[in-house]
């Protein structure tokens, strides 16, 4: 495990360096990690189900959109970058109204976005922001084009903070074929009155919020009220620390876990405790915990797979993680395909067309070819034949394992 621990130590060094000026941040230590791990094990027993290699525990049910997300069948279009809320936990700036964008591609024409969905064969589409209701007509136009041009089984949902929620808007969205609306009630002081505008109109109503530790008891009391309001599912995200929200998060007594991006320990425990509470009280609402590891592993791998499946060569071999493997008797390497809105400088690119607009893609090495001998090749063959139960300690095999397999997310702290 030496190589794995070296990798973890590098994460620690990177995180502490990135947030070095914030000396009051409380980073997880071995003593508090053991205590938290013991609590987590107990709470996970109440989840009933855990999907996607332990990254998504849930109680009762999850929405079709969440399933498609985990399977890599989902595209999220950011209708605008502007938001009318000021949630302390927001990880990014939300001040700019830009063109609808997804994965570095912008779509001025709703029909071009629908062609994009068809080109990469996505089965789910969501509209997010910023706040989509700030640009309601724009959101409605993109929804209509997806319904008009894409597979009728495409599952479509929208995120909103609910501040601008109105019954008439939801009637128009429902008439255009939306399946689900997800409300962030953290933006409205955890009030449920805005959800009433969608009840009986939108087929599936979900509340999707970060698991804020200080609000745990309030959320427990709200669960029965959510059911009465017509809410089918509660999605809980893990709070994460970014350069944008560190000033606000540093005012809270949180403990930060070292990951590819730092995450809040108490947020994960609060989400699992709320699931356990719903289980113990048999509350009729689906609750799922959308951990950072799920987002960072499955969402990224899902998109890489979609792009590679559509744009790679017929003879290419794809990994579970969406990378392209180059493997011979004498060497091994890995590539990834990136797509671009505009032609990048100094990169060899190929093209594809969507609604009379040219987009570009480039094949780039994520692991340059490493020379191998017959002994190492045999070890690689065994690793590729079956995912190992133990993480490889050899540095090359460890890197191959990372590129081949989607790592489990809820490891010990």
Cβ partners under 8 Å of residue 230, min gap 6? 195, 198, 199, 200, 205
Q: What percentage of residues in the chain have a pLDDT greater than 90?
A: 77
Backbone dihedral angles phi then psi of residue 308, each to the nearest 5 degrees: -65, -40
CB atoms within 10 A of CB 355: 16
The mean per-residue pLDDT over the stretch 212-218 comes to 97
The beta strands (E) that lie in 70-187 are given as 74-78, 81-82, 95-96, 101-102, 105-106, 124-128, 155-160, 180-183
Q: Where residue 411 falls among pLDDT bands split at 50, 70, 90?
A: low
CA–CA separation, 255 vs 25, rounded Å? 8
Tell me, what's the pLDDT at 407? 74
Q: What is the pLDDT of residue 296?
A: 79
Mean pLDDT of 393-398: 95
Q: What is the mean pLDDT of residues 135-145?
A: 98
* 3 preceded by a cis bond (ω within 30 of 0): no
pLDDT at 266 over 90: yes
Task: Identify which of 268, 215, 274, 219 has the alpha carbon closest to the alpha carbon of residue 240.
Answer: 268
Predicted confidence (pLDDT) at residue 401 exceeds the cutoff of 90: yes
- Residue 269 is predicted with a pLDDT of 96
Is 410's pLDDT higher than 80? no
Q: Residue 310: what pLDDT?
A: 92
- pLDDT at residue 262 tops 70: yes
For the record, the structure tokens of 174 come out as 């429902």
DSSP 88-122: TT--S--EE----EETTEE-SSHHHHHHHHHHHT-
Yes or no: say if 239 and 248 are a contact pair by the CB < 8 Å rule.
no
- The sign of the torsion formed by the CA atoms of 313, 368, 70, 212 equals negative
**Higher pLDDT residue, 139 or 344?**
139
The per-residue pLDDT for 13 is 93
Decide: 145 and 122 in contact? Cβ < 8 Å: no
- 353 pLDDT tier (thresholds 50, 70, 90): confident
CATH of domain 25-301: 3.20.20.70
Q: Where are the domains of the chain?
A: 25-301, 312-404
The fraction of the chain above a pLDDT of 70, given in percent, is 99
| E-assigned strand segments in 238-275 | 255-257, 263-264
Instruction: Using pLDDT thresholds of 50, 70 and 90, give the confidence band for residue 259.
Output: confident
Output 105 or 50, whichever has higher pLDDT: 105
Tokens of 278: 């719903």
State residue 51's pLDDT score: 80
Q: Per-residue pLDDT averaged across 126-148, rounded?
A: 97
Q: Between 2 and 133, where is the model more confident?
A: 133
Measuring CA to CA, which residue among 196, 184, 203 is closest to residue 228? 196
Cα 295 from Cα 268, distance rounded (Å): 14
Predicted confidence at residue 412, as pLDDT, reads 67
| Average pLDDT value for residue range 299-314 | 92
- Tally the residues of the chain: 413
Q: What value does the mean pLDDT take over residues 100-125?
A: 94
Residue 299 has pLDDT above 90, yes or no: no
- pLDDT-derived band at 284 (thresholds 50, 70, 90) equals very high
Q: Please report, to the nearest 10 degrees, the dihedral formed by the alpha carbons of residues 41, 293, 76, 200 taken in order.
A: 10
Please state whether beta strands 95-96 and 286-290 pair in parallel, antiparallel, or not at all (unpaired).
unpaired
Residue 245: the pLDDT is 96
CB atoms within 10 A of CB 30: 7
């Amino acid at each position: 495990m030496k190589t794995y621990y070296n990798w973890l130590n590098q994460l620690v060094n990177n995180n502490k360096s990135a947030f070095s000026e914030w000396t009051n941040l409380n980073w997880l230590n071995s003593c508090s990690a053991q205590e938290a791990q013991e609590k987590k094990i107990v709470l996970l027993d109440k989840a009933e189900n855990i999907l996607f290699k332990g990254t998504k525990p849930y109680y009762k049910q999850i929405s079709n959109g969440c399933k498609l997300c985990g399977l890599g069948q989902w595209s999220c279009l950011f209708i605008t970058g502007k938001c009318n809320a000021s949630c302390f936990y927001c990880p990014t700036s939300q001040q700019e109204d830009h063109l609808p964008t997804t994965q570095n591609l912008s779509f001025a024409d709703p029909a071009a976005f629908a062609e994009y969905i068809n080109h990469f064969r996505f089965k789910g589409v969501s509209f997010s922001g910023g706040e989509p209701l700030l640009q309601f007509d724009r959101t409605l136009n993109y929804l209509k084009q997806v319904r008009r041009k894409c597979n009728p089984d495409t599952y479509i949902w929208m995120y909103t903070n609910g501040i601008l929620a109105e019954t008439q808007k939801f009637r128009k969205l429902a008439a255009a074929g939306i399946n689900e609306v997800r409300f962030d009630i953290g933006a409205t002081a955890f009030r449920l009155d805005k959800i009433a505008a969608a009840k009986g109109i939108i087929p599936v109503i979900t509340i999707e919020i970060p698991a804020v530790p200080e609000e745990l008891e309030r959320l427990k009391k709200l669960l029965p009220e959510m059911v009465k309001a017509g809410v089918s599912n509660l999605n809980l995200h893990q709070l994460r620390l970014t350069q944008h929200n560190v000033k606000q998060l540093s005012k809270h007594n949180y403990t930060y876990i070292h990951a590819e991006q730092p995450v809040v320990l108490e947020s994960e425990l609060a989400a699992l405790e709320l699931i356990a509470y719903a289980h113990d009280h048999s509350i009729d609402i689906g609750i799922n915990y959308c951990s950072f590891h799920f987002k960072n592993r499955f969402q990224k791998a899902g998109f890489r797979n979609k792009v590679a499946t559509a744009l790679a060569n017929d003879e290419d071999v794809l990994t579970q993680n969406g990378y392209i493997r180059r493997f011979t008797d004498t060497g091994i390497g890995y590539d990834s395909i990136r797509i671009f809105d505009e032609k990048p400088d100094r990169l060899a690119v190929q093209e594809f067309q969507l609604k009379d607009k040219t987009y570009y893609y480039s094949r780039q090495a994520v692991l340059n070819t490493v020379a191998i001998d017959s002994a190492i090749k045999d070890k690689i063959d065994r690793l590729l034949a079956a995912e190992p139960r133990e993480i490889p300690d050899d540095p090359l095999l460890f890197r191959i394992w990372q590129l081949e397999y989607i790592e489990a997310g809820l490891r010990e702290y």
